[in-house]
Amino acid sequence: MLRTILTFSASIIFSQSIENISYDFIKHQGHILNKGGLFWNEDWHSNGLFFDGTFANYPSTYGPVIERGFFKTVEDTSSSDSLRTLSYFDYVQGDYYLDNLDLGIKYSKPGRVINLHAFKRRYAGAYNHYNYGIGTISPIHYTFLGDYNFRRNNENLSISVGNFNSDYGLLDSSNTSFLDSRITSSSLKYDNQYDSFLFKLDYNIFFQRLNGLHSSSIFEGVIYLTRTKINGSMMMLSSNKYNYGLSYNFNKRSLGHNAVKNFNWNVFDLFIQNKKSKYSIGLNTFKDGNDLIFSGRSIFQLGLISSKINYERSHKPYHIAYADSLNFEQKDCLWIENSLQMKRFNIGFDFAFQNFEREIDHMELPTKGNNLWISFYLSPVFQNDLEFSIRYNRSISNEYINDGIGDRMKIQLGNKFNLFSNAMTLKYHVSIDGYMNRRNGYALTPIERYPVHQPEQALLENLWVPSFTVTSIIKNVEISYAMHHLTNIIDDYLNRSYNSNQIVFNKYYPSVTRLASLAIKWNFYN
């Protein structure tokens, strides 16, 4: 929905290293880039819930709440000392039968918070490719969320449950290609401070039933993925600057098809931390051995310049869909963030170097590779309400799993005005996304979501995608109109073909075309 489309732009200050590439402008399908690398087969969290990223690695699919929780940390509201109820609905209608509804309610009382959320998405797609049924176009996704947060003295308890159902068609050589995914995720988090010790427990269960038909698919029929992840830690709170602790992480992953695969591994680590730094060292252990892991982060301030240095060595298991035994790939990452805040300018400069190694050549993926990612951000500060920013990212890869786009640029311009004696606020937002130095890199398959290299190596044309949004706000009501890929919209008015403005990020999906949508959001406060 429109609000999900705007989320990434609004949260870029929180996650400048993460990019969201949508294949349809509604963010039902797409991929994530983390510091220039393709995000796949990675665990992730959102809104208190754990997600096994084997097959579910595009958070925007599951609606705006899950998307926001992935791109930025959700504020802890369990300590609320007031009694209130907040509710809202967000409705969007647009091209190609776009019809989204987002509902939510939050009930707060001292020490307790209850959240309920529901989301529905209907969309046929520009080529009617999401609709593979007969008759009325049905919703392609449902999300239902609920969480309970409790705080008393030094105790905190959080229980979260989510259900996510997707059912939609896919473009393929077969006219009946589809994906049917049903996910249930539940999490329990508890922490308790006793004297000078802080104890934490994080218990997560993730279950996915996946049924799909596509020419790229490894499996035929229904497969079941089950993941259990338990994390416990103990930290000694010291009166000096540093706190010390240890943690234990238990993981069990199972895949059921014709036979059942069961993979288990554990992670132990010791850590030391304060308000600005954290360092850890430990072992990733499994049946056939163990691997050394370590990480560290520190924040430095030198005048107006703020810097954060991160480094990490991690090990993740091979994709269970094609791995016959438990094997791990090693990943090393050095990431440095720098920001300069002045009266007239906000400047950011980040870079990251990533290296990975794996022992076995599965599915023709490289056994080793590296990537250098550079990011520059500039935002002048104006005295009026004018907003302007420009971001440039460059990725230099060597046998690294990415989407093949070497240079990216995003230019944003916006402003707001007060009208009718300040009774109404009018905002506009214009953005241009540029994709340059493009080659065919890796594409995630629609069903199992593992990368496949696109063999063509020729340099592709640069892409420039302009979008426009205008929003009116009257008290608690927001009405927004958005136009994405303005080039195609202009082509429509001039009766021109889209052939010169084809946008394809993944060979398994059709070209991204124009999208116009109208959104109404109403907040209720009690």
Domain ranges of the chain: 2-525
Mean pLDDT of 372-390: 91
Instruction: Provide the 10 A C-beta neighbour count for residue 246.
Output: 15
Whether residue 375 has pLDDT greater than 80: yes
Mean pLDDT of 324-335: 93
Q: What is the pLDDT of residue 77?
A: 52
pTM above 0.85, yes or no: yes
Whether residue 4 has pLDDT greater than 60: no
Q: What is the pLDDT of residue 76?
A: 54
Q: What is the pLDDT of residue 15?
A: 44
Q: How confident is the model at residue 81 (pLDDT cuts 50, 70, 90)?
A: low
Backbone torsion region of residue 48, taken as left when φ is above 0, otherwise alpha when ψ lies between -120 and 50, otherwise beta: left
Whether residue 225 has pLDDT greater than 80: yes
Comparing 26-35, 80-89, 505-514, the range with the smallest average pLDDT is 80-89
- Percentage of the chain surpassing pLDDT 70? 93
Please name every residue paired with 523 in a beta bridge, in sequence order, or none if there are none: 88
Q: What is the pLDDT of residue 79?
A: 54
Whether residue 13 has pLDDT greater than 60: no
Q: What is the pLDDT of residue 456?
A: 66
Mean pLDDT of 334-359: 92
Q: What is the pLDDT of residue 353?
A: 97
Q: How confident is the model at residue 432 (pLDDT cuts 50, 70, 90)?
A: very high
Q: What is the pLDDT of residue 351?
A: 93
Mean pLDDT of 398-425: 93
- Taken in order 446, 439, 441, 433, the sign of the CA dihedral is negative
Q: What is the pLDDT of residue 283?
A: 97
Mean pLDDT of 317-332: 91
Mean pLDDT of 383-406: 92
* CATH T-level topology, domain 2-525: Maltoporin; Chain A (2.40.170)
Mean pLDDT of 456-461: 71
Beta-carbon contacts of residue 333 (< 8 Å; ≥ 6 apart): 35, 310, 311, 312, 314, 352, 353, 354, 355
Q: What is the pLDDT of residue 10?
A: 31
35-66 residues labelled b (16+ CB within 10 A) or e (exposed): bbbbbbbbbbbbbbbbbbbbbbbbbbbbbbbb
Q: What is the mean pLDDT of the chain?
A: 90
Q: What is the pLDDT of residue 73?
A: 62
Backbone torsion region of residue 462, taken as left when φ is above 0, otherwise alpha when ψ lies between -120 and 50, otherwise beta: beta
Mean pLDDT of 394-416: 94
The per-residue pLDDT for range 467-506, each reduced to its tens digit, is 999 999 999 999 999 999 888 777 777 777 666 667 889 9
